[in-house]
Amino acid sequence: MNYEIKALRFFQDQVLDLDKKSKRIINDKIRLIKENPYRYKRIRSKQYSKVFRIRFSIFRSETRLIYVILEPNIVLVCLLDRKDDYKNLEKYLNMVKEENP
């Protein structure tokens, strides 16, 4: 199946502030998501059943890229710092509804 990658404005703003090396890492991960979006770990959410995360490190900080699969789209939600746990995840997932009615 062909998936279309969409990014929330919040995600785009987060990536915009990063350096070239970090952007390259994220672009590589996005390419892998497009090939097989189900390859990474699923995480629990109250709102969506197909929420996944990718682990990687930026500036020696454990980071998670969170995305949701809404057939035929893959919505890139946010970059989360691991140290903050997943406290704000549901708040960020609410933005998916607002930007994709």
Which has the higher per-residue pLDDT, 60 or 28? 28
- Confidence at 92, pLDDT banded by 50, 70, 90: confident
Q: What amino acid occupies position 33?
A: I
The sheet that has 61-70: what strands, in order across it? 4-7, 73-81, 61-70, 51-58, 41-43
Fold type of domain 4-99:
YaeB-like fold (3.30.2310)
pLDDT at 100: 67
Asked whether 25 and 56 are in contact (CB, 8 A), the reply is yes
Domain ranges of the chain: 4-99
pTM: 0.90
> Taking every pair of C-alpha atoms in the chain, what is the biggest distance, in angstroms?
36
pLDDT in tens, 45-67: 888 999 999 998 888 888 999 99
